[in-house]
Every structure is written in C-alpha cells, then in structure tokens.
Chains A and B, each alone.
Chain A
Amino acid sequence: GQQVMQIPQYQHVQEGEDFTTYCNSSTTLSNIQWYKQRPGGHPVFLIQLVKSGEVKKQKRLTFQFGEAKKNSSLHITATQTTDVGTYFCALPHAGNMLTFGGGTRLMVKP
C-alpha cells in the first residue's frame, strides 16, 4: 500500500531561522496537500500542489512538488513564534481519502 514518510519528526529553531519539512511517497501522486495544526488545535488546510515541479508561495511559506511527483517540501523563511505547530503532508488515495504523514513538529524559540 501507499507509504508516506515525513522528516524531520521534530525541529527546534531560533526565531528568524529558516525551517524545512520534507514529505516522501512510495508512489507517484496526483496531488499533495499540506496542513498545519497549532498546539491544542485542529489541522487546517494550507495548500494543494498538483503539477510536477510546482512551486507555490504563501507569504513566508514556500511549497514545492517534486518533478517526479513523489516528494514535496514546505519551507518557512525567517520563522516567527506564530509558526509553531505541527505540519502534515497528506496524500490522496482511493478517491476521496487522504493518508497523512506523521507530521513535523516545529518549535520556535523567541
């Protein structure tokens, strides 16, 4: 079955440093999604990538879909304390379902 690996599991950064989380799939994907979950909160949809090599930006967040559509990354430039949370990638399967990666928990020291 479909497998997804997300690394790193945890990341501590100093405020102002950059952060990147990576998501790797065992199969070629039609699309990939990213979600953010604040501590104590629920996952919130951030973005969907569809095209090979696609790059999308949301302010300080840059999302990239690999050329082979088997991996993706989320990069945050100059982290802020508001970026704290767990970032999940999610892969579609069987039509309407998603397989979530294990998440990368980001902690930012002010």
Chain B
Amino acid sequence: DIQMTQSPSSLSASVGDRVTITCQASLDISNYLNWYQQTPGKAPKLLIFDTAHLHTGVPSRFSGRGSRTHFTLTISSLQPEDIGTYYCQQYDNFPWTFGPGTKVEIK
C-alpha cells in the first residue's frame, strides 16, 4: 500500500497568514493527489483534485502543487472559516489512502 505522510500534524496561525501543508507519498503517484478539508463534526469536503485543480466553489486562496511524491497545499491568507483538519489522499493505486491529517487552528 502507498503510505501518505503529512507535516506538520498541527499548526496555529493568525488570520491573514500564509499557511503551507506538506504531503509525501511513499511511491510515485504522478499527480493523483487530492486534498480535503474537514471541519469539526462535519463530513470532509473536496478542496483540490489532481494536485492543483480547485473543486467548484473553493476560494482561490487555496492552491496545490507538486508531483510524484511531494505535494503542498497552501492557504494564501488564512481565514477563520479555514479551521479544521486537512487530509491528502492518493488515488494512483488501490487501496486509495489518506494522510493522517493536519489540524489548522487560529492563533
């Protein structure tokens, strides 16, 4: 199985800060990488698919990049509604696997 790791596991930043989350795959997954946001008590929501494409309705302050084994999710200007846990997920090979998550809080 392809293992996904994320760093940091949690972060605290101020409103307006630029925030970057890193996701690493144990094998080359090309660009088959998605990002999801989960706010407390809610279902996950798709943010970014295929490494860099924003899902419908996702604010442009979110962006993704990377390839093969190294990927990043960036929030250009952190907003209060961005608190939650962010997961990366690969879909290059079954079983699809998720990273352990990065919890984002407001300082």
Say whether A and B bind each other: no
A contact residues vs B (CB 8 Å cutoff):
none
